[in-house]
Structure 1
Amino acid sequence: MPSLRDLAQLVRAPAALSVPGDVVAGAAAAQALDRRVPGLAGASVLLYWGGMAANDWADRELDARERPERPIPSGRVSPGFALGVSAGLTAAGVALAGLAGGRRALAVAVPLAGTIWAYDLVAKNTSAGPAVMAACRGLDVLLGASQGRTVRAVPAALTVAAHTYTVTELSRREVSGASRALPAATLAGTAAVAAAAMAGRRSGAGARGGDSSGGGDDRSHPDGANRWTGSRAGPGWRALVPAVLAGWYGLQYGAAQARVAADPQASRVRAAVGAGITGLPALQGALVARAGAAVLGVAVAAAAPLGRRLARKVSPT
C-alpha cells in the first residue's frame, strides 16, 4: 500500500491550492457567491487530483526514462493502483459537483472531467495539448459560475485559460530545455493576462443581493456591510486590489520566465512551470477582487505563498 507521501506526490497535492480559486473567480463574476461554492471548489480539487493521477498513469513509460523518481516508475505506486485512484477521484468529483450544485453544476463538471481525461490520454503530447489543458481550467472557472449568470464569467474563464496555456507550453520543455523564443512568447502572454485581470468593470460584490459599495439589501448583514468586501464604505482601497494582485502575479511568474529566457535549461523551465502553478491564486484573487469581492480576493491570493512553501516538500510538476 502506498504511503500518504507517495499519494501526495502522485496527485501533486500542494498544487491543488491553485484550484479552488478557479471556482471562486467564476462564482464572483457570475454573482453566485453562496453556500454552494465550497462544495463546488471541493469537487474541482477532486477532479484535479484525479487528472494528475491519470497523467502519471498515462505517462508511466515515458516517466521511466525521463522522470524515474515519480511514484509509478520508482515502484512506490503500481499502475493499476494509480488508475484506480484517478477513476475514483474523478467519480467523486463529479458526484460532489452534483450534490453541491445540481444539474447546472453537472452540466459543466461532466464535460470538465471528460476534457481532463482527453488531455491525459490523447491530447497531451499533441499540438492541441496546451489548448485542451487551457479548456480544462476555463471550464473549472465556469463550474463556479454555473449557479449564476454564467456568461458574465466568460472573461475570467478566458483569462485563466490563457495563463494555463502559457504554463502548459513551458511544461512541454521541462526535460529537454527550451529555446529562448518560448519564454519570450509566454512572458508576453503573461503580461497580457495580468493586464486583462487589472482591466474591466467591477461588477458588484459577487454575491446575490449586494452591490459594489456593499450597501445592498443583505439580510444576513442587516447593517448593510457586504460579506465579501467587509465594508459599507465606497470603493476606496478595494479599487486598487485587482491591480496589486495582478501585478504580484505578473512579477512572480514573469520573473521565473525571464530567467528561462536568459538561460533556457531544463531546471529553469521546471522552476517557471512551478511558479506558474503556485502563482495562479494571485491571478484568481485579482479576478475575484475585480468582481467586487476585494477581501475574498486577497484571501484567495494568500494561497500563492503557501503553495510555494509546500512545493519545497512535494513538487507541483
Structure 2
Amino acid sequence: MRVGDLVELTRAPAAFSIPGDAWSGAAHAAVSGRGWAMPLASTCLYWSGMAFNDWCDRHVDAEERPERPIPSGRVSPDTALAVAAGLGAAGLGIAALVGGRSAVAVGVPLALMVAVYDAAAKDAAVGPLAMASTRGLDVLLGAHASPASAWQPALAMTAHTAGLTWLSRGEVHGTRPEVAGAVTAGTLAVAAATAHAAFHDPHAGRLARASGVGLSAAYAVVVGRAQARAAQQPTADAARAATRTGIGGFSLLQGAWLARRGRLVAAATVVGAGPAYRALSRRWSPT
C-alpha cells in the first residue's frame, strides 16, 4: 500500500480539523501540561474511524465511489480493517498515557461511537446525531479532568457536526433545498451563540473577546455562504463543496472558543491550519 493510498483511506487532510477540539476543551477545563498533546489521540481515533468507514462501505462504494482505495483494489479490505484497529488502539493508548483514567473514560465511549456510526447508524435517522456526538466527545476528551466545564464548545462542535453530516448525505445524489437551508440556519445560530459567549465572558480580556467575536463572524460567513449556495442549487457538487468547507470551518469555530479563553496562540495555530487543509484537500478528498 502506498502512502498516498493510506492518506486517502484515512482522509488525512481532514485531521487538520481535529486538534482544535481537544485544545478548546482543555482551555475551558484549564488543563495544562501533557493535556495539550491530547490531539494526537484524537487524530488517531479520527483516522481509525475513516478507515473503518471505508471498510464498512466497501460494497456501496464499489457502485457509487469506485475510485476509493478499497473498491479500486489499491487497499485490501483486510488491510483497511487492520489500519482501523491499529489506529484505534494507538488513539486509546495515547489518551491513557496523556490523561490517565479520566481520559480513557471519555476515549472509550468516543471510540465506540465512531464504530457504531460507521457500522450501524450512518444511514439511520439518528446518523447525524451519532456522528455529531463523536465531535462533542472529542472536545470533552481534551477536558477529561473536568468535562462539564467544556459543555459550551462541546455543544457548538456537536451542532456544527450534525448539520455537516446531514448535508453530506447529498454528496452523491444531491441534497434538498430545505435540508441545506436548515443547515445554514443552524450554522448561523451556532455562530451567534459562540459570539455571544465570547462577547459576554466576564473573565475574557478585550482582545480575547474581539477575537472570539471576529472568528465567530468569519465562521458564519465562510461556512454559511457555502451552505446557502447548496440551498439555492442543491446539486451533488454543491453539497460536496459545502461539506468540504464545513470541515475546514471547524478551525474557525474552534479558534473562536480558544480565543475566548485567551488562548490566542492556539487559536492562531488552529486557524492557520485552514490553508494547509484546503491545499491537501485539492489532492486528497477529505470526505
Instruction: Name the TM tier (shorter chain).
Output: over 0.9
1:238 to 208, 216, 219: 208
Q: Does 1:10 align with 2:9?
A: yes
1:164 to partner: Cα distance: 0.1
* TM-score computed with the length of structure 1 as normaliser: 0.87
Q: Which residue of 1 aligns with 2:144?
A: 146
Match of 1:192 in 2: 189
Aligned ranges for residues 82-231 of structure 1 at < 5 Å? 82-147=80-145, 149-200=146-197, 201-202=200-201, 204=203, 212=204
Question: Which one-letter code corresponds to 2:166 in the other structure?
Answer: E
SS at match of 1:35: helix
Compute the displacement of 1:109 (Å). Answer: 0.4
Q: Which has the higher helix share?
A: 2
- How large is the Cα RMSD of the aligned pairs? 1.2
Instruction: Among all aligned residue pairs of Structure 1 and Structure 2, give the percentage whose two residues are the same amino acid.
Output: 49
Query: How do 1:31-110 residues align onto structure 2 when only pairs under 5 Å count?
Result: 31-38=30-37, 40-110=38-108
Instruction: Please report how far the alpha carbon of residue 309 of structure 1 lies from its aligned counterpart in structure 2 after TM superposition.
Output: 1.6
Q: Aligned to 1:270, which of 240, 247, 267?
A: 240
2:284 is the alignment partner of 1:314: yes
How many Å apart are 1:299 and its aligned residue? Answer: 2.0
Does the 8 Å CA contact 1:245/1:301 hold for their aligned counterparts? no
Equivalent position of 1:221 in the other structure: none
For each residue in 1:224-251, what CA deviation from the matched residue of structure 2 results, as whole angstroms up to 9, or x when unmatched? xxxxxxxxxxx34332000111111111
1:264 shift after superposition:
0.7
CA distance in 2, matches of 1:32, 1:250: 28
Q: TM-score, normalised by structure 2?
A: 0.96
Deviations 1:41-99 (A, max 9, x none): 10000000000000000000101111111100111000110000001100110011001
1:297 is displaced (CA, Å) by 1.5
Residue deviations 1:12-69 (CA, integer Å, cap 9, x gap): 001000001000010011111333221x110000000000000000000101111111
Aligned mates of 2:194, 2:268 — CA distance in 1 = 14
Q: Is the 8 A contact 2:11 2:47 kept in 1?
A: yes
Q: Deviations over 1:274-308 (max 9, x none)?
A: 11111111100101111232332222221122211
Task: Tell me by how many angstroms 1:267 deviates.
Answer: 0.8
Equivalent of residue 229 in structure 2, options 259, 264, 274:
259
The 2-side partners of 1:298 and 1:86 are apart by: 31
Aligned residues: 285
- The answer on whether the counterparts of 2:26 and 2:35 sit within 8 Å (CA) in structure 1 is no
- Structure 1 distance, partners of 2:209, 2:110, is 33
- Alignment partners' CA distance in 2, 1:239 and 1:249: 15
Specify whether residues 294 and 203 from structure 1 end up closer, same or farther in structure 2 by C-alpha distance, changes over 3 A only.
Answer: farther
Distance, in Å, in 1 between the alignment partners of 2:89 and 2:29 is 26
* Conservation of the 8 A alpha-carbon contact between 1:47 and 1:93: yes
Structure 1 residue 203, shift from structure 2 partner: 7.0
Cα distance in 2, alignment partners of residues 155 and 4 from structure 1: 38
SS of residue matched to 1:176: coil
Displacement over 3 Å in runs of 4+: 201-204
Aligned position for 1:222: none
Distance 1:195 1:299 in 2: 23
Instruction: Please identify the structure whose Cα radius of gyration is greater.
Output: 1
